Amino acid sequence: MRIILTAALMVLAAPTALMAAPVAAGAPAANALSVETTDLGTLLDNADAKAVLMKHIPAIVGNDQIAMARPMTLKQLQQYSGDSLTDEKLALIQSDLDKLAKR
């Protein structure tokens, strides 16, 4: 898993077309945190959101090269993460992020 994630993060060091798309009408509020629209850097810089990530994906958050993935969303990172970011895992993370918005 570490080799796959490390290789994926190295790919991210180059500019890519994987940047988040503009928020569409009917999307969550601008301040809502989302696995699909919020970049990883924003999640890591928010102490509560980072705690959610540490709960669900500590190996990814603790990866030495995670800084290279900061511009990506978790949904975008999913394709590089093997079994670490399944759709089910993203749903659990999103559920916990939604709870933060309700506080």
73 lies in some domain: yes
71 lies in some domain: yes
Alpha-carbon torsion (44, 46, 49, 54), positive or negative: positive
55 lies in some domain: yes
pLDDT of residue 8: 58
Residue-number span of the structural domain to which 69 is assigned: 2-13+33-101
Domain count, the chain: 1
Q: What's the whole-number mean pLDDT along residues 72-83?
A: 94
The average confidence (pLDDT) of the chain is 82
Q: Phi-psi region for residue 22, left (φ > 0), alpha (ψ -120 to 50) or beta? A: beta
pLDDT at 41 exceeding the cut of 80: yes
19 lies in some domain: no
